[in-house]
Chain A
Amino acid sequence: MREATIGDSRHRLAVALVGAGVVLVALLPWLADNYAVRIATMICLFVTMALSWNFIGGYAGYPSFATAAFFGFGAYAGAILQAKGVPMLAAWLAATALTAVFSALLGVAILRLRGHYFAVGSFAVLELVKLAASSWAGLTGGGSGLNIPILAGGPDFASRVFLYAMLALAIVTFAVALLVDRSRLGFGLRCIRQNENAANMLGVDVDRLKIAAFVLSATFVGTSGAIYASWVSYIDPTDMFSILMTIKVPVMVLLGGAGTLLGPIVGVVAFQLLEEKIWSSFLEIHSGVLGLVIVLLVFALPGGLLGLPARLGWGRAAQARP
């Protein structure tokens, strides 16, 4: 029971902070220009991805690199449906469902692997889906990409629609993360991370929980891909299935603090703002600076930004359960 009360105060703080962030983002179109709105939309997109990755990579401790595979899958599913005349919202929902089914089937296959082998398996999945998208030209347009009808109503209207869509998706993902964090599922996943064999022997249904975490890690990423496709109105395989994106997400989670509720969000906001700054200040060497930041992060912030207060001795509130 003690666990539950600590959890509750932690959750209340997280919900309050996230609520304040949501209000800020929702008011942004009246407070700032379209550039800021664009950054906020990207932040919401990556919050969804980071919270999703956290289910499998953070809670269950399975280093998945399939994030971009689900992002691209959702983007293509949504784009193909929209190009065939399905209304935008329906296409997003259908893409969500399709990604969930796709990830469940994949999960049954590759979740038998552990550690490095799982990491490589998920890499291979990403590569396979990407190659399939560039080869299957009849359906996906192949290497020349796919155009999606542009949303009518002008750029200001469109930028708001996609900001709110991404924000809503991020809120839904956060709510699910909140539920999982306090549920038996979240507890079971933490057990798997600590010792899968022991968890299995003590009666945790390891296979089902892992597949549940994998599907959770994919579903909303699929939706975000579909929304992104409608937003940018042009997609191609290299952009949608990017290795850089698939590695950026875990880096963000590590930056914030893995396996915690707020960690992914803190990490995303810090990383996106930092990257934006690096992009604009060091165009020629931005990937080098990014690399340097990552290297420093690994050595200087092993527990992520959320682990910082505890390291400085500011009490245990933000310290994640190890």
Chain B
Amino acid sequence: MIDTQVLLNGIVLGALYACIAVGFSLVWGVLNVINLLHGSLIVLGAYLAHLAFTHLGVHPFLSLLPVAVVMFAFGYLLQRLMLNRVIAEPVLVTLVLTFGLDLLLYNVMVLSFTATPRRILLDLGRIEIGDVVLPVDRLAATALAILLTGLLYVLLRGSRLGRAIVAVRMDRDAAMLMGIRVPVVYAITFGIGALMAGAAGCLVAVVFPFSPGLAETFLGKAFVVCVLGGLGTVPGALAGGVALGMIESAFGVWLGPQNATIIAFAALLVVLLVRPTGLVGRAGYE
């Protein structure tokens, strides 16, 4: 059944996209910063997993944990030392700053890892049910992506820290009056964004070939997912991710991958104009 295949491909791709975008969405929603660095952070995570795999023989699903910790520290410091200083400036300033940082990181990655595409080949075989074929490595990456995204949801909903983040997202000034240290919450949130990017990078390394140039593609996906689903929430990123996965999988079969991307961006524009809060977003919740 070609249709079941298309549907499953869409979900598998969608879960990965959700994981790619959720950190970006959180940073945008809570800090009101469009983090142009996000794509490069994903690629950086992928390279770290690749290094651990080739030099130390560590399985990428295991190296995910230390990579996530390193990326969190990196993101936390970046926000603490640099972004917090200009967080009150107009949109353009933070955008330009993250763009400059992105250029820097990109250049460092090209110098240290070269531009040759890499990939971690696990070769776990595939599952066949009737006509439907799914590679196991891709399936495992999807399951982990859903797990990570779910953990973030639990963190935001269930913990004191998560509630503080949500509070800052809803009303920064009120949160400050309630005794929440907003700059710290900002730094932690940016750290979580970087953590999710790094973890997503470890998963991506198993599924796609990657190179520093792919950062732009990931960033583009994150944009589309965020706007389609709604900003700053985990369910929004999931809905947006699955929507984008479905669009790419379905239109990719019917019209070719190039045109599927056109449809995805057209959908983004339409959603922006008709329902700026996203598919599952709530009005006034920003």
Contacts and interface: CB of A to CB of B under 8 A. Distances in A.
Interface of A: 57, 61, 63, 109-110, 112-113, 115-117, 119-121, 123-125, 127-128, 131-132, 134-135, 243, 247, 250-251, 254, 258, 284-288, 290-295, 297-299, 302
Interface string B80-107: 0010011001111101110111111111
Given A116-B91, A254-B93, A298-B93, A285 B107 contact: yes
A128 B121 CA distance: 34
Nearest to B106: A287
* B interface residue count range (under 10 / 10 to 19 / 20 to 34 / 35 or more): 35 or more
Most A Cβ at <10 Å: residue of B223, B272, B273: B272
B272 A291 contact: no
B30 interface: no
A63 B89 CA distance: 13
B34 interface: yes
B124 interface: no
B97 A128 contact: no
B262 interface: yes
Interface of B: 28, 32, 34, 82, 85-86, 89-93, 95-97, 99-108, 111, 216, 220, 223, 227, 258-259, 261-262, 265-266, 268-269, 272-273, 276
A57 B227 contact: no
A250 B97 CA distance: 12
A119 B216 contact: no
Would you list the 3 A-B pairs with minimal beta carbon distance, nearest first?
Answer: A294-B100, A291-B103, A288-B107
Contacts of B265: 124, 127-128, 131
B102 A250 contact: no
B71 to A, nearest CB: 19
Contact of A298 (B100, B104, B111, B276): B100
26 contacts: A63-B90, A63-B92, A110-B272, A116-B32, A117-B227, A119-B34, A124-B223, A127-B220, A247-B95, A251-B99, A258-B92, A284-B111, A285-B107, A285-B111, A287-B106, A288-B107, A288-B108, A290-B103, A291-B100, A291-B102, A291-B103, A292-B100, A295-B97, A295-B100, A295-B101, A298-B86
Nearest to B99: A247
Given A128-B262, A135-B259, A243-B216, A117 B272 contact: yes
Nearest to B85: A299
Contacts of B101: 291, 295
A258 B266 CA distance: 31
A286 B102 CA distance: 13
Nearest to B255: A135
B100 A61 contact: no
Contacts of A295: 82, 97, 100-101, 104
A63 B95 contact: yes
A139 B258 CA distance: 17
A298 B262 contact: no
A115 B28 CA distance: 12
A292 B92 contact: no
Contacts of B111: 284-285, 288
A63 B94 CA distance: 12
B262 A109 contact: no
A109 B268 CA distance: 13
Contacts of B261: 131
Contacts of A112: 273
A135 B95 contact: no
Nearest to B226: A120
A115 B91 contact: yes
B75 to A, nearest CB: 16
A134 to B, nearest CB: 7
Contact of A120 (B32, B92, B216, B227): B227
Given A116-B34, A120-B227, A254 B92 contact: yes
B262 A288 contact: no
B39 to A, nearest CB: 11
A134 B258 CA distance: 9
Contact of B262 (A61, A63, A135, A291): A135
Contact of A294 (B89, B99, B223, B262): B99
Contacts of B220: 127
